[in-house]
Structure 1
Amino acid sequence: MKFSENWLRTLVNPEVTSEQLAHALTMSGLEVEALESLVPDFNDVVIGEVLSLEKHPDADRLQVCKVNVGADAPLQIVCGAKNVHVGARVPCAQVGAALPGIVIKQAKVRGVESSGMLCSEKEIGLAEESDGLLLLPSDAPVGQNIREYLDLNDKLFTLKLTPNRGDCLSVTGVAREVSAITASSLILPEVTPAVIDKSAGVLDVKVLEPEACPRYCGRIVRGVNLAAPTPEWMIRRLERSGLRSINAIVNVTNYVLLELGQPLHAFDLNKLNGGITVRFATQDEQLTLLNEQAVKLAENMLVIADDATVLALAGIMGGLDSAVSDTTTDIFLESAFFNPAVIAGKSRSFAISSDSSFRFERGVDFASTRIGLERATCLIQEICGGAAGEITEVISELPKRDPIQLRVARARRVLGIDMQEDQVEALLRLQQLTFVSDKGVYFVTPPSYRFDLNIEADLIEELVRLYGYDNVKAVSPRANLGMLPKPESFRQDSELRQVLVNRDFQEVINYSFVDEVWEKDFAGNTKPIKLQNPIASHMSTMRSTLLGGLIDGLRFNLNRKQERVRLFELGRCFVGDQPSSEQQPLRIAGLCYGPVRSEQWGEPARSVDYYDMKADVEALCWPEIPRFTAAQHPALHPGQSATVWIANKCIGWIGVLHPQWQQKYDLPQSATLFELDLASLQKRVIPVFSEYSKLQQVRRDIAVVVDESLSVQIILDALHENKPAIVTALELFDVYRGKGIDSDKKSLAFRVLMQDTQKTLTDKETDEAITHLTQILNNRFNAKLRT
């Protein structure tokens, strides 16, 4: 909403500066987006009258003018404008005048003295370009300051209104707000009924959709003179509000729109066939709008029609065929209230925007429908003449303005302000709200122009707006502070993240929406959860695994010449069709690619393998010791993949990327990956104290030959389950295949550590323990000691 400050101050004139007024409006919720002067600062420019012209003796295009500026003697000024003539009254900058970008000095132009400059609109900042001098009316008073004559000591306000404040899309609406927030007197525009001439007749009006158009007013005005000039004061107010002058009728309707917020439309009466009908469009109806855009109407679009065709798109824009033109003598003037829900969004379907639709979408004052018509009629008669007929009005059920309950105690609690009842009443009166009270409870009836007041919270907001946000004291929050419990048996996800960061991983965050192909490749999921309205074709399903996003991140890095990539992600997966936590588990997944370490001189380069990733997984699981069982996964190499177990629960997968996907996704070499259940990793075993032995450990090694197909994990599980009490550690430290070992066999070497907390172990005790372990290997796995 853009308007002239001078226009606003004709309705309400608080004793504050422009800047203070802008601040007050902004702090009341009407944000002033821009406050700018109408023209740049300049001085010593008065109205001059050209008394005579003489051709410059040394320049064909220059004239020597004698100009009366109200001084004792006329000024001699050299001018090159084409439209200068004797009798012209124009702005004249005197010697010493400071114009935008120039200071006027006594000068000689081609040898002729020049004591000033005749000005165009460009020189005084009214336009960026100008073809000649600014010609003023012949009755412009000579010698008067041009700033006063053209009302240039004005500023332009631009409000950035929220959608709920449609009542402030008029100068009157803004004036109401200014009156309320500054406690200044308000002078509303005086609207008197137009003089009726019954000979002008009436037009039959039918409203077939009363819910869409609860109120419709119209009247005939005959014998208007469209050639009549629009008053300068009206043109100035329109132009300073961003509207250009067209003709007197259109200017009046635009003026009333800006003044009262009531959109109006004028039809050429002689172009109408029969009466006016307000209805919804029928299928395949078309209309050429005022902007010459031909549109095809939908059946949910409200239109104004006569007996033959559609005349206008209701509340949005009139039609070109029935528009007022230079030959128009009789008009039908329309003023209506349309249901905002019917108008909302319709203009955007045609990629157009109009001042009328902008207001009707937000809601206009249905009590001002007739007032706006009367105001426009009086202005038309004043400017263009004409005989006005009686108003034809069709009213159905208008919006109800039911009283809203406002509890003072509730307002105090919400605002934190000790507001008394007399203060509440004073603030409500400032906003011109009618109310009745009953023991601290007010029943407030909102006016017809305040569509934003519907519930108690809206009224509480009105109180604090008028009270002043600046006057609300800041209160420091008061709360009890205490340490939150941090169970030792639970690990935060931040701890798990830190473990991986310390091992040179970098965290990534991917969308939960993934390509359907990823689900099939990396999860074997042929029936993923599909989105009904995906944001892109390659983000059409919900992920059931994090691996696809990590592979995509790897490709992104490889395309940017990154040779070593270590990524991890912690996120939610979606494995079912029900919104339960069990089917939306949190998981943590990692990927390693390229050299184990960055290029260096200290050790030869080596690509990361399954066992490097296994060490990372063991670090995540610590202090639990995970077990790894060979298994197949859709995304992993059949011979280099395993499930990860803690206690007796499978918590995830680890392995090398399947060669098929390595080739499909253009990876120069394979990558290793893991994906684990986050909840299982967050459960931590509480450490239990055990006595520390001061006695020396005994180490013995056992090397056995077993079948190649035998899993080492199974052997370790059996040994741990049946180990003697003195055995404190039992680990595999070597695997050998080759010379001296059959091709279907492998050699396994186990390190056995034995210790007692009370005494030194004897050879007999250690021998018995080793014999016991050897018997387990022999009896259960047919293992042979390697000699």
Structure 2
Amino acid sequence: MKFSENWLRSHVPTQATRDELAATLTAIGLEVEEVAALGDGLANVVVARIVECAKHPEADRLQVCQVDAGQSGLLQIVCGAPNARPGLLAPLAMVGANVGGIAIKAAKLRGVESNGMLCSAKELGIDADASGLLELPSDAPVGTPVADYLGLPDASIEIKLTPNRADCFSVRGIAYDVAASLGSEVKPLDAAPVPAQSPVTMDVALEAGAKVPRFAGRVIEGVDAQAATPIWMAERLRRSGVRPISFLVDVTQYVMLELGQPMHAFDRDTLTGPVVVRPARADEQATLLDGRTVALDDDFLVVSDSRDGRASRAVALGGIMGGLDTRVTDATKNVFLEAAHWIPSAIIGRSRKLGLHTDAGHRFERGVDPELPRVAVEYATRLILDVAGGTPGPTTVVEHAEHLPVPTAIRLRRARIARVLGVDIADAEIERILRALGLQAVAVADGWSVVPPTRRFDIAIEEDLIEELARIHGYDRVPTTLPGGATRIASPSETRVEAGVVRRQLAARDYLETVNFAFVDAQWLAHWQVADGAVPLANPLSAELAVMRTALLPGVVAALQRNVARQAGRVRLFEIGNVFQAEVGTAPRETVRLAAAVVGEAAAEQWGQPARKVDFHDLKGDLESVAALSGAQLEFRPSLASHGHPGRSADVYRDNQKVGWIGQLHPRLQRALDLDAEVIAFEVDLAPLSARALPRAGDLSRYPSVRRDLAFVVADTVPWAEIAATARTAAGPLLRDVQLFDRYVGQGVESGQKSLAMGLILQDNSRTLTDADVAQVVAQVVAAIADAHGAKVRG
């Protein structure tokens, strides 16, 4: 929200300096982002009229102007502005003035005397426009100090508002907070009803139920649409970041900025039939003020100008923007003013759905005072009559009273204030703060009964009132007190490996952690073919962040791609976070997962070993190191995942339960992601990987272990994990470990076959194993592997 400092001071008288005012705004939660000083040091700068212009004899781009500055005689000024012309009124810096750090003196420019400087808005420090002289209205009094005429000096102040402070999207709303903080009071608003001078009205019908419970309108006939916007109004708009357009449009903008109520002005003569507020029809179209034609559905609200079924037309997009065909122009004679109360839920997300952002929609999404429509129409009427004339009809207010919010009393207890804030505030100070903020407070036995004004949607419970007291009384006046009492120490469970331990393990293996948004682009998930079950957001930040992620890998690989694009040759990233899956009839299911992706060299640049690219087995070893933290034994089976490379990816199992995926990304996906290098990645559920049995102490065997090595020839399609599982089952309780130490294909092994060499580690806790014991186990293992996998012992 941007506004003029002088405009704010016109509502709340205060002796605070500009710096003190800015500090106060920030201290009460209205954070000041920028203060731009305007028009400081404009002594000896006056309104002047150019009487004559002649070409400079020695310069093509300069003119010699005779200027009336309200003194006896004319001043000769050499000027290079392209818009300098006879009759123009512009600021003139007299000799002795100091403008923009330049001391103005009598001088000769190319041999011609010049006694001052005609100024642009930029030279005066009130705008960035330096394209020509600042053109003043034709009724500006010649000789008047420009500072007095333009209401200078001033400052443009921009504050950052939190979503709950919709009431501060207006100068008057900010004034209440400033008055309460600085011990002042907001001046009463002169918005007395303007008596009707004509019986002309516009019938209004509300057909949107609770979504639009109040609508105010008024017809004003015979206005002068070409009347110039008063300089004071134009300057206040400009200093609030709004470019003046025409008086009738500027009035609605001015009222919105001052009171907080968005309005719209229709050309009455372009409307036919009664005005109807209704839901849009499926496939209905509307042409908006910006010239764009948008397709609507029944989720939108429109203002239409008749009730003749399909023939009715939408003349405005409710709560967002007016229509092109019914806008006011310089030819407008009769105006229909409207101000309505649109509830936030009827407006939220609609602008974003159409790629629009309007000041009206921004305010209605957060909540506007339902009592303002009539006040805004009366206030705008008075402004229009004062400048553009006209004959006003009666103000028409149509409402569904049962749908209008009714403020309810909130109990505020002294004891509760002291308990929450830890500080005693005097009753008189509490009542002063509440009154200055516009709240109605009635003293009761243990405190006050407080009714918030209708503009304060954010005040609903006792703690909200206490927050208001803390803001205004001053957070710096709340004492710092250390908490007391005992705290319970929560010990980590021994049956689960903490996420922090997993993070440290991967960091020790040369990975960096990345953190990504939990909401992503739906098209992004579609590239990965993991969009099924994605949970859409009701009010996304943007169209590119419209659904909750169903997997971590898309975000991790995107981060990896950004690093590779910035010439990082070796990248190793991981992330631990939640993924979301839609569930029928219940809340979405959240699952904590671990994902990692690597690209580039297997080891950092060094001289101790030959350089090689990272491969599947490197990442598999990293994943198994994480599993080892919980003692998990992982199994890897061929995967058919669409985002994985055929033959180079696997599904990960623990205890015969699928827990994730590991492998190389599919080349098609890599091309879509603009990745040239081979990316190896994994994504697993963290909970089953982190679960571990409760550690139990046991005796170490006093007897030696025995190792027997076996080599099998088996079909190349049989995975080692299946053979190892068969060996463990067949060996029985004497087996301590089975290790694969060689894989061979080539001469001596038939095509389509492979040789796997394994070591069986056998041991007993009660005795030394005999040769017969070992031979029996080996025979069982050989028979089981031969029977289950068609393997033969290699000779």
Change in Cα spacing, 1:123 to 1:134, as seen in structure 2 (3 Å) is farther
1:405 and 1:456 in contact (8 A); partners too: yes
Look up the match of 1:417: 423
Look up the match of 1:201: 199
1:571 and 1:587 in contact (8 A); partners too: yes
Look up the match of 2:450: 444
Look up the match of 2:261: 262
User: Could you give the per-residue CA deviations for residues 303-354 of structure 1, whole angstroms, max 9, x where no partner exists?
Assistant: 1414664363233333333333333333333333333333333334433343
Q: Give how far 1:12 is off.
A: 0.9
Change in Cα spacing, 1:418 to 1:557, as seen in structure 2 (3 Å) is closer
Report the secondary structure of 2:264's partner residue: strand
Change in Cα spacing, 1:311 to 1:106, as seen in structure 2 (3 Å) is same
User: Could you give the per-residue CA deviations for residues 274-325 of structure 1, whole angstroms, max 9, x where no partner exists?
Assistant: 4333333445544433333333443342314146643632333333333333
After superposition, residues 44-193 of structure 1 pair within 5 angstroms as 44-48=44-48, 62-63=63-64, 65=66, 70=71, 76-79=76-79, 90-100=90-100, 102-127=102-127, 128-132=129-133, 134=135, 137=138, 140-142=141-143, 144-193=144-193
Q: Give how far 1:657 is off.
A: 9.0
Look up the match of 2:4: 4
Q: Give how far 1:153 is off.
A: 0.4
Q: Does 1:315 align with 2:319?
A: yes
Look up the match of 2:747: none
In structure 2, what is the Cα distance between the partners aligned to 1:229 and 1:283?
41
Look up the match of 1:253: 252
Look up the match of 1:453: 459
1:574 and 1:585 in contact (8 A); partners too: no
Look up the match of 2:414: 408
In structure 1, what is the Cα distance between the partners aligned to 2:350 and 2:630?
65
Q: Give how far 1:155 is off.
A: 0.7
Look up the match of 2:793: none
Q: Which amino acid is 1:390 matched to?
A: P
In structure 2, what is the Cα distance between the partners aligned to 1:501 and 1:216?
61
In structure 2, what is the Cα distance between the partners aligned to 1:345 and 1:615?
44
2:283 and 2:297 in contact (8 A); partners too: yes
In structure 1, what is the Cα distance between the partners aligned to 2:579 and 2:314?
57
Q: Give how far 1:44 is off.
A: 3.6
In structure 2, what is the Cα distance between the partners aligned to 1:672 and 1:134?
65
Q: Give how far 1:257 is off.
A: 2.4
Q: Give how far 1:433 is off.
A: 1.0
2:578 and 2:590 in contact (8 A); partners too: no
Change in Cα spacing, 1:722 to 1:663, as seen in structure 2 (3 Å) is same
Q: Give how far 1:717 is off.
A: 10
In structure 2, what is the Cα distance between the partners aligned to 1:244 and 1:615?
60
2:275 and 2:303 in contact (8 A); partners too: no
In structure 2, what is the Cα distance between the partners aligned to 1:674 and 1:280?
46
In structure 2, what is the Cα distance between the partners aligned to 1:344 and 1:612?
46
Q: Does 1:393 align with 2:397?
A: yes
Larger Rg: 1
User: Could you give the per-residue CA deviations for residues 565-620 of structure 1, whole angstroms, max 9, x where no partner exists?
Assistant: 9999989999999999x997989999999999998679999999999999997998
Q: Which amino acid is 2:278 matched to?
A: R
Look up the match of 2:790: none
Look up the match of 2:478: 472
In structure 2, what is the Cα distance between the partners aligned to 1:615 and 1:348?
44
Report the secondary structure of 1:366's partner residue: coil
Q: Give how far 1:734 is off.
A: 11
In structure 2, what is the Cα distance between the partners aligned to 1:733 and 1:392?
88
Q: Which amino acid is 1:207 matched to?
A: A
Q: Give how far 1:36 is off.
A: 0.7
Q: Which amino acid is 2:243 matched to?
A: R
Q: Which amino acid is 1:405 matched to?
A: R
In structure 2, what is the Cα distance between the partners aligned to 1:92 and 1:734?
93
Change in Cα spacing, 1:109 to 1:67, as seen in structure 2 (3 Å) is farther
In structure 1, what is the Cα distance between the partners aligned to 2:336 and 2:581?
66
Q: Which amino acid is 1:406 matched to?
A: L
In structure 1, what is the Cα distance between the partners aligned to 2:200 and 2:596?
79
Report the secondary structure of 2:123's partner residue: coil
Q: Give how far 1:434 is off.
A: 1.2
Q: Give how far 1:395 is off.
A: 3.0
Report the secondary structure of 1:211's partner residue: helix
User: Could you give the per-residue CA deviations for residues 641-682 of structure 1, whole angstroms, max 9, x where no partner exists?
Assistant: 99999xxx88999xx999x99999999999999999966884
Change in Cα spacing, 1:683 to 1:182, as seen in structure 2 (3 Å) is same
**604-613 or 121-130, which moves further after superposition?**
604-613
Q: Which amino acid is 1:129 matched to?
A: A
Q: Which amino acid is 1:350 matched to?
A: L
2:97 and 2:103 in contact (8 A); partners too: yes
Q: Which amino acid is 1:217 matched to?
A: A
1:245 and 1:251 in contact (8 A); partners too: yes
Report the secondary structure of 2:252's partner residue: helix
Change in Cα spacing, 1:304 to 1:262, as seen in structure 2 (3 Å) is farther
Change in Cα spacing, 1:236 to 1:668, as seen in structure 2 (3 Å) is closer
1:96 and 1:105 in contact (8 A); partners too: yes
Look up the match of 1:293: 292
Q: Does 1:331 align with 2:335?
A: yes
Report the secondary structure of 1:216's partner residue: strand
Report the secondary structure of 2:210's partner residue: coil
Change in Cα spacing, 1:533 to 1:703, as seen in structure 2 (3 Å) is closer
Report the secondary structure of 1:156's partner residue: strand
2:602 and 2:618 in contact (8 A); partners too: no
Look up the match of 1:350: 354
Look up the match of 2:279: 280
User: Could you give the per-residue CA deviations for residues 533-591 of structure 1, whole angstroms, max 9, x where no partner exists?
Assistant: 6999xx99978xx99999999999999999999999989999999999x9979899999
1:719 and 1:773 in contact (8 A); partners too: no
In structure 2, what is the Cα distance between the partners aligned to 1:162 and 1:486?
38
In structure 2, what is the Cα distance between the partners aligned to 1:109 and 1:35?
37
In structure 2, what is the Cα distance between the partners aligned to 1:593 and 1:344?
46
Q: What 5-or-longer segments of structure 2 have no aligned partner?
A: 538-542, 715-722, 745-749, 784-795
User: Could you give the per-residue CA deviations for residues 748-786 of structure 1, whole angstroms, max 9, x where no partner exists?
Assistant: 999999999xxxxxxxx99xx867768868998999xxx
In the comparison of the two structures, how many residue pairs are matched? Answer: 738
Look up the match of 2:239: 240
Change in Cα spacing, 1:575 to 1:469, as seen in structure 2 (3 Å) is closer
In structure 1, what is the Cα distance between the partners aligned to 2:394 and 2:237?
28
User: Could you give the per-residue CA deviations for residues 461-495 of structure 1, whole angstroms, max 9, x where no partner exists?
Assistant: 22212222232233334465787657889876766
1:122 and 1:129 in contact (8 A); partners too: yes
1:3 and 1:158 in contact (8 A); partners too: yes
In structure 2, what is the Cα distance between the partners aligned to 1:650 and 1:405?
60
1:707 and 1:746 in contact (8 A); partners too: yes
Q: Give how far 1:11 is off.
A: 1.5
Q: Which amino acid is 1:467 matched to?
A: H
In structure 2, what is the Cα distance between the partners aligned to 1:426 and 1:462?
12
Report the secondary structure of 1:361's partner residue: helix
2:267 and 2:328 in contact (8 A); partners too: yes
In structure 2, what is the Cα distance between the partners aligned to 1:181 and 1:116?
45
Report the secondary structure of 1:178's partner residue: helix
TM (norm. structure 1) is: 0.71
Q: 1:373 aligns with which of 361, 371, 377?
A: 377
Report the secondary structure of 1:239's partner residue: helix
In structure 2, what is the Cα distance between the partners aligned to 1:388 and 1:11?
27
